[in-house]
Structure 1
Amino acid sequence: MENSRASLIDTSFNKLEKFNGEHFQIWKRKVTLNLQLVDIDHVLIEDEPTIPEGGTADAIAAALVKQSKWKRENNICKLLILNSMEDSLAESYSKKVKAKEI
């Protein structure tokens, strides 16, 4: 599955023209569709999962797995968004922690 996701990312994002500050809505729509294609667009909508206080060990372990997955997918999403921008724009957004902040 991870190889097929990497292949989709490589194929779809390499065809995008880099955002240079013009035609934002078109660029945004294309980036969003590509993120949907590789099933990581949820990090643009959902908040980072939290660890429940006072939960059972199983509930905490499950929450940690969800949180770890979300963080990894957020980082992938950030990388893809930043790589789809001209360097001058990407630099100004690179310090954002969450993909949805970009």
Structure 2
Amino acid sequence: MAFVTLKDMGSNFHRLERFDGGDFVRWQRKMHFLLVTVKEYYVIVNPRPLEPSESEEESVAKTRERLRWDQDDEICRGHILNGMFNTLFDAYYTVKTAKELWNQLERRYITEDATSKRFIVCKFFDYKMVDGRSVMEQFNEIKSILDRYSQHKLALDEFIVVTSIIDKLPPS
């Protein structure tokens, strides 16, 4: 069984592309994976443990659970903020919890992803291959566009894809 050190986990976050406002779904999936890896994602899906009422006496275990959740929430929030470019970091730094931050990002950028779906469709249908570049290089660009279709859960009939690619071939 391999043990993962904090240094190793930190290096994984270093490899994450910083979110610049584009392709939110991809960044969100990578961030989700990393937060699960460091066991911090639970603060986004689980509510904070409740404070005891004045008439109740809280057990030490409940106090520790709440304090641990608070600490993990701050770490999770920090990881999410650290995964952003400075301009977005500055815009979202004041959000208090990781869950609020995650939800605000989803509300803002999932809507923009709908427009990016339109952009991807247009990019595929407007793409033209040229003579001056390698066919394989251009094919890989088309494949990359089509991979983004699947990332956005867009379906395109195989016959249409093949026909479109043939139409995109240069005259030579």
TM-score (norm 1): 0.86
Task: Return the index of the structure with the highest Cα Rg.
Answer: 2
**Is 1:37 aligned to 2:51, yes or no?**
no
**Is 1:91 aligned to 2:90, yes or no?**
yes
Work out whether residues 52 and 63 of structure 1, in 8 Å CA contact, stay in contact via their aligned partners in 2.
no
The 5 Å alignment of 1:1-102 reads 4=4, 6-53=6-53, 54-57=55-58, 59=59, 61-102=60-101
Aligned length: 97
Q: CA RMSD in A?
A: 1.5
Can you list the C-alpha shifts for 1:25-75, whole angstroms capped at 9, x where unaligned?
000000010000011100011111113334455x3x221101100011011
Identical pairs, percent = 28
Segments of structure 2 that go 5 or more residues without pairing to the other structure are 102-172
TM-score (norm 2): 0.53
Counterparts of 2:65 and 2:98 in 1: how far apart (Å)? Answer: 17
Provide the secondary structure at the position in 1 that maps to 2:15. Answer: coil
Higher relative contact order (CA 8 A, sep 6+): 1
Segments of structure 1 that go 5 or more residues without pairing to the other structure are none
- Give, in angstroms, the shift of residue 12 of structure 1: 1.2
Gap change, CA 1:94 and 1:5, over 3 Å in 2:
farther
Moved over 6 A (4+): none
Counterparts of 2:52 and 2:5 in 1: how far apart (Å)? Answer: 31
